[in-house]
Amino acid sequence: MTTNEKKQLPFAVCISNEDYPASLEVGKLYQIIPDEAAESHGYIRVIDESGEDYGYSRDRFFPIQIPAALQEALLKAAYKSGKMKRGEA
């Protein structure tokens, strides 16, 4: 499967870490973990600075589309650093 054939993963930039300064970094790019239940309540789930996935209010983030090549590079870097394990994306 080529990069262009892979599913685009959703990403968002943190725009507010109020009340969560240890868990979220303003300006940092976070991969969104699909969670329909969280979304139905106005939340999105991301892997925060603790390394765990957690639901945060949607208004803390600005969703963006990133090019497939950048997505692949980011995921490779996350695997290499140990922040993600194969099969998590």
pLDDT tens, residue by residue, 18-42: 999 999 999 999 989 999 999 999 9
- The Cβ of residue 51 has, within 10 Å, a number of other Cβ atoms equal to 9
- pLDDT confidence bin for 75, thresholds 50/70/90: confident
**pLDDT given for residue 22 in this prediction:** 96
**pLDDT given for residue 54 in this prediction:** 95
Is the distance from CB of 30 to CB of 48 less than 8 angstroms?
Answer: yes
| Mean pLDDT (the chain, rounded) | 85
